[in-house]
Structure 1
Amino acid sequence: MNTTAVPTPQSNKPTSRYTILDREAVKLKSVLGRWETLLALLLIVVFTVNSIVLPHFLDLYNLLDGTQNFSEKALIALPMALLIICREIDISVAGTLALSSVAMGLAMQAGFPPATLVLVALAAGCACGLLNGVLVTRFGLPSIVVTIGTVSLFRGLASVVLGDKAFTGYPQLMADWGQGYFFGIVPREFVVLLAFAALFAFVLHATSWGRRIFAIGNNPDAARFSGIAVDRYRLALFVLTGAMAGLAAFFLTGRIGSTRPNIATGWELEVITMVILGGVSIAGGAGTIGGVLLAILTLGVATYGMSLANIPGIYMTIVVGILLLATIALPRLLRARRVSK
């Protein structure tokens, strides 16, 4: 029996060209849909508007000097991002900073060498973070409740020690780091911030330590069953956040030259706004250090522009509050809209 081969029909659609174009379109849509891309565009818009409206905005010296207004907060935002990715939060960072600054003042009065004051600040910050971490991991208390309590504790202790006085007369070494420049133009604080941002980005996105943080944030129970020491990581992140708050205290105290009871009041809101605006999910398990850094720069440029325009600081507080609400609510609204379709 003879059989004849039946030719398969040939497709009339061009294959290679349209396939490549479709792939490129999908990639472009993916890039444009990323939160970091939107933040970069927002930063460009804010920068462009300020440069058009404000005549002295583009002065390089003023721009770099403006980084001092957010560098200390940004140092705290970096570990806060890791903590929120891990489904925890630390409201007590401003109180930790205040108590660390008071600890440096007491150490200075006790005759500690100037070079050791940064170690005193780091030790005080670590102690505050350790207290938070132990209460959360060992006693199973919610971190938001614990840190709301400890911020009052830390701030209260600082106020009791200082009373109506202030620590002044800090050594020149602290002023050199808080007010000093590299190459006569770049603030030292900003360089330190960029170095820590690179370090935190490497740890979070390129190491097993970072992958475990994401795993804990996505599903703590599954991470625990897979052999990850969940509580140990959480405790370490609380201590790290406290240490960075202590480092921020060293820079801030050196920059303003004094320790007062109201130092860094309200900073916790601005730090958390930097993190959430940077795309870190308040529910945990998602976020990037790059996004947080873009949010820091965007808020910094906006604040700098408002200060040049002589707009009162209270309006910036309103803007921060609106941004915090919007960045929390907007993703949920968009998700609910997609589900309804």
Structure 2
Amino acid sequence: MKIIVPMAGRGSRLRPHTLTVPKPLIPIAGKPIVHRLVEDIAGVINQDIEEIAFIIHKDFGDVVAKELIAIAEKLGAKGTIYYQEQPLGTAHAIMSAKESMTGPVVVAYADTLFRADFTLDTTADSVIWVQKVDDPSAFGVVRLNDKNEITDFVEKPKEFVTDLAIIGIYYFKSGETLRSELQYLLDNNITKGGEYQLTDGLENMKQKGMKFVPGKVDHWMDCGNKNVTVETNSRMLNFLHEDGEHLVSDSVVLENSTIIPPCFIGEGVVLVNSTVGPNVSLGEKTRVEDSAIKNSLVQTNTLIKNANLDNAMIGNHAVFNGNFTAISIGDYSVLE
């Protein structure tokens, strides 16, 4: 099994945090989004992962590429880096990794996380991960028949068709077939809004009689902007806490301070006269003094003093000293 992860987008809705770190590497409960994503996929497919192919922009740099390869290796897989130079749509992005599209493949966009308990139907030509949503008009959705097979793909329906939204994770029994269908779109310049779309390839495959079935997830968590990313961090902390995962490093220093679970507290964190939690992630070597923090995501090597934070997101190597509350400051920022 191979996993292909298109992640060349800049993540503009999550600025300033994505000015210095690509969105898929933003930590959720102490681990990069993309790392948690491929781990969750591995748990669902229950097969050995041979390769994880990451599609990035050249501006991400060598450090990001090395970090992604390390993520793949931690899962016992080969890590491969491909580059997408222009944002020409989902099909174009996937085809940037066409050399890796052999055998069974999973395509997963690295701005979403999920929790699921279902068995992957490897007899299907494709499995499309879906989740029920309150407002289907904002998503691409699928319609099912009485055999639980996908009969239609509808993009942002203006009238109600179904409430099963496509969350951006797909399984294909044959990577070669997917590659052929997407290559057809590129060769014949089949676009919508000037972009090559994966859904056009899926529709062609369905018209040829290929079987598509849904993979229904229990929880779908977005990381599109600051507020939903902080919310996703809180939800993930609660899931991990319920699973009994050890989230607080043994090296944490507590001086007249309290941790209210669930929290992720990284190595070398120091808490002085502070209360942290619930639903807080603090990255390694962060120091918190005379503060109260809840429902927040703080990255590494940051100093927080005299703060009362709720729904906050703070980057790496930042300094915050003040009375603001629902803040969002990026790497190396100073507010004092």
TM superposition score category, shorter chain reference = under 0.3
| Structure with higher RCO (Cα < 8 A, 6+ apart) | 1
Looking at secondary structure, tell me which structure has more strand per residue: 2
Q: TM-score, normalised by structure 2?
A: 0.23
Looking at secondary structure, tell me which structure has more helix per residue: 1
Higher Cα Rg: structure 1 or 2?
A: 1
